[in-house]
Amino acid sequence: MLPVTEISCDPVGRWLEVRPRCAQLANWHSMRFAFAGTTVEVRSNSAEIVTVLRRQIGEFHPDCASASDSLQLCRIEINALQGEPDLKIELAVENDESIEQALRLPPPSATILSAEFVHLRWEDLECFWRPFDLLASIRFSSPTDVRLLVSLPPPRPAAPGEQPLRFRAKKNEIDPAASGVMAKMKMGGRRSVQMDEIVDLVRVMTVRAQGHYCLHAATLALDDRGIILMGPSGCGKTTTALSLLRGGFILLSDEHSALNATENEILLTGFRSAPRVRGMTPAGLDDLEKTLQFFGEDKRPVSVPEMKAVSGTPWLRPALMLFLRIGPGASEHRIERLSQKDAFVRVMEQVLDPTNVFRKAEQSQAIIRLIEQSPAYELVLGSNLASIPELVRGLVESSL
């Protein structure tokens, strides 16, 4: 091990320092985008990562105001390790050492084990680490600096007529025989990070850099009010959002939403991206209804030209929350008002951000204020999506 240096509180920098070969990067590729008053600079040693970020984020949040001094700045560096077995982010887990022991880091002020991650906190830096595939260092300063180290599968030449290998993740089971400090974190075999997961991390870190909260939710606008659609993947969020879009609502996001909690108010906006639905891409409302029949198929992007004309990111007062699930075989919808206690539990399950372990109290207070200001309903979807816009308009009017 190298002696402790001034960067020893940066786990990603320390890991690259300990493994000099990993730091010998051929070329850096970069892009910029703007979201809700923040300019984000991303650079990576992977051209493919930057290309995908341009397509999935930059297309909807162009860097149109980066010259403004009023914008905050967030810098994200993505180090992609690929090809050699010893480049896995294993550190010394086989010896049951903690991450700070393995990298000779100074003792953190706080350490928390969650279902997937080891979370560490120093005075001005937070870290989350998922053994074998992901390590992150986040310095919440001005500007905010995020450094990611991700493990990717080795490249292989594409066969004639075959698409080049894309980043995919392998499912790994928790090792039931593991013991010691890292027992809950051990995973069998090698993992790799999906490209979509990298894009999601960039979105989440952008929201977190502003001090906001990121929700796994679709957000739509009706005038100056926001409608939040929530639920697990496959519950019909995107299908419902597209039906509302065709009914005159404005679609801000079908996947990532940002919650801004200040002392005076709660505001909501969406992180725009290409909507994706299960089954075949719908050509009209009738085809859209068919997407409710697909449960296990991969999601396919839907072209929505209206979403690409971004003129700023509007912050909205939340009007109501809808928690969705599909009613198989039903034609009409069923709706039921939820108690604030039930709504609180459900919203907490939809908060996205590995670093939230260090601000649980603030997060809980923000969610409580959200559900106090906007009623929550469970909406069991039938196949008659044409009636959804009128139903939601009636709920919004009743909440005024």
Give pLDDT tens digits for 167-186.
333 233 333 333 443 343 44
Q: Which of 127-141, 152-166, 190-204 has the highest mean pLDDT?
A: 127-141
pLDDT for residue 40: 93
Name the more confident of 224 and 276: 224
Least confident segment among 1-10, 117-126, 130-139: 1-10
Please determine, for residue 83, whether its predicted confidence score (pLDDT) is greater than 70.
Answer: no
pLDDT at 399: 80
**Segment 48-59 mean pLDDT:** 92
Give the model's pLDDT for residue 90: 64
Mean pLDDT of 116-138: 89
> Mean pLDDT throughout 333-344?
94
**Residue type for position 219:** T
Angle value at C-alpha 216, between 352 and 46, nearest 5 degrees: 65
Residue type (1 letter), 340: Q
pLDDT at 151: 80
Residue 94 has pLDDT above 80, yes or no: no
Domain spanning 212-399: which CATH class is it, in words?
Answer: alpha beta
**What residue ranges of the chain are covered by domains with CATH 3.40.50.300?**
212-399
**Res 193: pLDDT:** 73
Encode pLDDT of 363-397 as tens digits.
999 999 999 999 999 999 887 888 899 999 999 99
% helix / strand / coil in the chain, to the nearest 5?
30, 30, 40
Stronger pLDDT, 155 or 263, i.e. the higher one: 263
| Residue 286 CA, distance from chain mean position | 30
Most confident of 52-61, 276-285, 350-359: 52-61
pLDDT score recorded for residue 300: 65
pLDDT at 202: 95
Q: Quick check: 46 pLDDT over 50?
A: yes
Instruction: Tell me if 228 sits within 8 A of 217, measured CB to CB.
Output: yes
CB within 8 A of 116, min separation 6: which ones?
Answer: 130, 185, 354
Question: What average pLDDT score do residues 110-115 get?
Answer: 88
10 Å Cβ neighbour count for 102?
A: 18
pLDDT band of residue 301 (cuts 50, 70, 90) is: low
Give the mean pLDDT of 76-94. 67
84 token code pair? 């050699």
Pairing assessment for the beta strands 317-326 and 376-381 based on DSSP bridges = parallel
Structure confidence at residue 105 (pLDDT) = 87
Q: How far apart are CA 252 and CA 86, in angstroms?
A: 42
Give the separation between CA 27 and CA 249, rounded to whole angstroms.
44
Output the pLDDT for position 376. Answer: 96
pLDDT of the residue at 221: 93
CA–CA dist 325, 254 (Å, integer):
15
Mean pLDDT score of the chain, rounded to an integer?
A: 78
Query: Residue 293 — pLDDT band, cuts 50, 70, 90?
Result: low
pLDDT confidence of residue 233: 76
Residue 310 contacts residue 62 (beta carbons within 8 Å): yes
For the whole model, what pTM was predicted? Answer: 0.82
Predicted local confidence at residue 175, as pLDDT: 39
pLDDT of residue 294: 58
In tens, the pLDDT along 184-209 reads 344 434 456 788 889 999 999 999 98
